[in-house]
């Protein structure tokens, strides 16, 4: 019992990680588990708020938990936010079984079905800057139970991926996050090196989840005991199976990630154009305020923006402009949209609107005076 108490925290963390991973791909199951060891009691409860059904090659449809609990860090009043995700069913890769695994009784048609999920969903905010913080690969056996031992194959995988082609910074395999989700390999990105102030304050960090579902078709395996024995064999030889199909695996994964990140890269290009336009609007507006001979107008602008001089006005106006353009909402029917309230309020939005109004007025005024 002493040993059990000693191991309890670690064991509990592993149990939680396992159940969380299992629950992700078995969203139709609500899990309630209470474990008591001596005076320690731990309760686990997992249930999906938002589910998505996908038809795979398997006759049993996949029900994914696509609930997204991540909300924007900087947000104004109540806004629409997608509380789910939109998984993409990718390709199915047939893999060969190494001869020594066949010698031990592993036969049949083995394949890996890819499913990807980019979260949180920002489809309703086409101007919002995004940054890919990490990519997680999760492997499940044919019964959709997470593979407990993460193959070493995935630790070396980043060296074989073309990150320039994917449009993301080089990712590194992170060992500290392995226990967060059982059977998961996490590749973490560094913070953006040349981030502007707008990226620091309003960029949404997204995660790419790649589910790898092992599937085996063997007409000679029908009994439950045989199915279980076969799955044990698959997990035992998974490292060799992956290494045996390294090139095909890398090409397939590169393709899946490229498709998933396509929208992210398009968004980056649009955002660059928007930033250029914002710079022109900002400099024009500030020069109008600075050059105005109307003291009341200038004082009113500074007061409304709660700043002391035009230097502070430029910074405040720039921040407000970026937030207003970034958070322009385009509702989407496919999104699991709900009203949420963020952590911080817009301080300068009312001032921004005022200056834009004055922009036209003061232009006329200047023209009149000239």
- Which C-beta is closer to Zn ion: that of 118 or that of 216? 118
Long-range contacts of 282-290 (CB under 8 A, 24+ apart): 282/314, 282/317, 282/318, 282/321, 285/317, 285/355, 285/356, 285/359, 286/310, 286/313, 286/314, 286/317, 288/359, 288/362, 288/363, 288/366, 289/313, 289/355, 289/362
- Burial call 184-197: b when 16+ CB within 10 Å, e when fewer: bbbbbbeeeeeeee
- Which C-beta is closer to Zn ion: that of 66 or that of 301? 66
In DSSP terms, 215 is beta-bridged to 111
Least distance from Zn ion to the Cβ atom of residue 349, Å: 25
Distance, in Å, from the CA atom of 222 to the CA atom of 211, rounded to the nearest integer, reads 25
- The site for Zn ion (CB under 5 A) is made up of 82, 121, 123, 335
Distance, in Å, from the CA atom of 158 to the CA atom of 173, rounded to the nearest integer, reads 7
- Which C-beta is closer to Zn ion: that of 123 or that of 278? 123
Least distance from Zn ion to the Cβ atom of residue 51, Å: 14
**Does residue 141 contact residue 214 with C-beta atoms inside 8 Å?**
yes
Least distance from Zn ion to the Cβ atom of residue 195, Å: 25
- Which C-beta is closer to Zn ion: that of 82 or that of 242? 82
What is the full DSSP assignment across 314-329? HHHHHHHHHHHHHT--
- Which C-beta is closer to Zn ion: that of 83 or that of 307? 83
Least distance from Zn ion to the Cβ atom of residue 47, Å: 21
In DSSP terms, 41 is beta-bridged to 36
- Which C-beta is closer to Zn ion: that of 37 or that of 123? 123
What DSSP designation does 364 have? H
Least distance from Zn ion to the Cβ atom of residue 207, Å: 14
In DSSP terms, 51 is beta-bridged to 65
- Which C-beta is closer to Zn ion: that of 68 or that of 301? 68
Least distance from Zn ion to the Cβ atom of residue 123, Å: 5
- Which C-beta is closer to Zn ion: that of 184 or that of 337? 337
Distance, in Å, from the CA atom of 65 to the CA atom of 304, rounded to the nearest integer, reads 46
**Does residue 83 contact residue 167 with C-beta atoms inside 8 Å?**
no
Least distance from Zn ion to the Cβ atom of residue 117, Å: 11
Least distance from Zn ion to the Cβ atom of residue 150, Å: 29
CB burial class (10 A; 0-12, 13-18, 19+) of residue 347? middle
């Amino acid at each position: 019992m002493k040993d059990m108490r000693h191991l309890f925290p670690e064991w509990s963390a592993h149990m939680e990680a396992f159940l969380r991973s299992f629950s992700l791909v078995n969203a139709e199951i609500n899990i309630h588990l209470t474990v008591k060891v001596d005076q320690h009691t731990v309760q686990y409860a997992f249930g999906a708020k938002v589910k998505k059904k996908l038809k795979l090659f398997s006759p049993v449809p996949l029900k994914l938990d696509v609930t997204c609990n991540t909300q924007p860090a900087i947000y104004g009043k109540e806004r629409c936010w997608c509380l789910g995700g939109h998984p993409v069913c990718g390709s199915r890769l047939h893999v060969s079984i190494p001869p020594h695994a066949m010698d031990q009784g592993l036969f049949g048609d083995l394949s890996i079905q890819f499913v990807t999920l980019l979260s949180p969903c920002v489809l309703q905010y086409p101007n919002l800057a995004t940054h890919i913080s990490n990519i997680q690969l999760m492997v499940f056996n044919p019964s959709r139970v997470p593979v407990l031992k993460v193959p070493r194959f995935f630790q070396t995988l980043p060296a074989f991926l073309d990150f320039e082609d994917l449009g993301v910074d080089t990712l590194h395999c992170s060992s500290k996050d392995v226990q967060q989700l059982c059977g998961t390999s996490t590749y973490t990105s560094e913070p953006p090196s040349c981030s502007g102030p707008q990226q620091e304050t309003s960029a949404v960090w997204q995660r790419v989840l790649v589910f790898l579902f092992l599937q085996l078709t063997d007409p000679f395996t029908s009994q439950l005991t045989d199915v279980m024995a076969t799955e044990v064999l698959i997990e035992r030889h998974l490292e060799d199976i992956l290494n045996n199909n390294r090139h095909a695996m890398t090409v397939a994964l590169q393709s899946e990630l490229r498709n998933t990140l396509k929208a992210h890269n398009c968004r980056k290009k649009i955002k660059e154009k928007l930033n250029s336009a914002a710079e022109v609007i900002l400099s024009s507006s500030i020069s109008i305020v600075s050059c105005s001979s109307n003291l009341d107008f200038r004082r009113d602008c500074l007061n409304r923006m709660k700043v002391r001089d035009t230097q502070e006005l430029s910074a405040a106006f720039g921040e407000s402009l970026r937030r207003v353009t970034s958070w322009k909402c385009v509702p989407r029917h496919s999104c699991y949209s709900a009203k949420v309230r963020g952590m911080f309020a817009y301080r300068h939005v009312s001032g921004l609107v005022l200056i834009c109004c004055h922009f036209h007025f003061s232009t006329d005024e200047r023209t009149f005076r000239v």
